[in-house]
Amino acid sequence: MGLLAKLIDRQIAAYQRELIETHYAEVDNMYRQIRGWRHDYRNHIQTMKAYAAAGDWEAVCRYLDELDTDLATVDTVVKTGNPMTDAILNSKISLARARDIAVTADAHILVKLNLSELDLCCIIGNLFDNAIEASMELPKEQRLIRVYMDMKNTQLYISFTNFTAGKKLAKTGSLFPTTKGDGHGFGLVRIDAIVERLDGYLSRNSEDGAFTTEILLPTV
């Protein structure tokens, strides 16, 4: 048990380091984009004033449309109301999109969570990692991950759905089979252990072409 506990501790530490490094890079990238846009703000104003002075309102409208599109690329972050959830979701969304995986996220957390940041990172991070890996087996135009998070009374509801290649999977015990190498089950077991420890609820459902994980966690 001592060796197993040490192995698990090393895996958790490595996962935490990966999360921190990824989050730092993603947040730094977002701030660079925002600083760049703010730096150009004065130039944008001067350009539009010049168009307005010339009476070229069509050019003003066209320029505003371009700015709106440009700003949308900066303001694509998910804002749930919970800083840690924002960090992990935006980090993983960035990674997914870099792999040509479309992501739709609807997440709202308007109360203070009593969950530890490590527990939340492990759950969301592993769910996203699994969805990303499964999506990579599909053609680019078919890749899609749907994330939904909201409060259900006093419980936090988390739902991840991703399209999959092949037909409906059959469970082996409480888990679905995986094509990954040795050690992949560690992430799934971690999720199950956290949900069980917090007296939560977890459901995995495989249908033809889609895989969904739903979790309910008490927040009080």
Taking only the tens place, the pLDDT of each residue in 29-47 is: 656 666 666 677 778 888 8
pLDDT of residue 213: 94
pLDDT of residue 23: 59
Give the residue from 93, 151, 101, 98 showing the smallest Cα distance to 125: 93
pLDDT of residue 179: 45
Which CA distances in Å does 154 have to 109, 121, 211? 11, 20, 26
- Of the chain, the percentage scoring pLDDT greater than 70 comes to 70
Q: State the average pLDDT over residues 132-154.
A: 92
Task: Reply yes or no on whether the pLDDT at 58 is more than 80.
Answer: yes
Task: Reply yes or no on whether the pLDDT at 183 is more than 50.
Answer: no
Phi, psi at residue 124, to the nearest 5°?
A: -65, -40
Task: Reply yes or no on whether the pLDDT at 157 is more than 80.
Answer: yes
- Domains in the chain, CATH or no CATH each: 2-74 (no CATH), 83-218 (3.30.565.10)
pLDDT of residue 173: 47
pLDDT band at residue 20, thresholds of 50, 70 and 90?
low
pLDDT digits (tens, 9 = 90+) for 109-125: 877 777 777 788 889 88
CB of 43 closer than 8 Å to CB of 36: no
Residue type, 102: A
pLDDT digits (tens, 9 = 90+) for 62-81: 888 887 776 655 555 677 87
pLDDT of residue 176: 47
Average per-residue pLDDT in the chain?
78
Task: Reply yes or no on whether the pLDDT at 103 is more than 60.
Answer: yes
pLDDT band at residue 10, thresholds of 50, 70 and 90?
confident
Q: State the average pLDDT over residues 93-114.
A: 84
CB of 145 closer than 8 Å to CB of 99: no
Per-residue burial over 148-159, b = 16 or more CB atoms within 10 Å of its CB, e = otherwise: ebeeeeebbebb
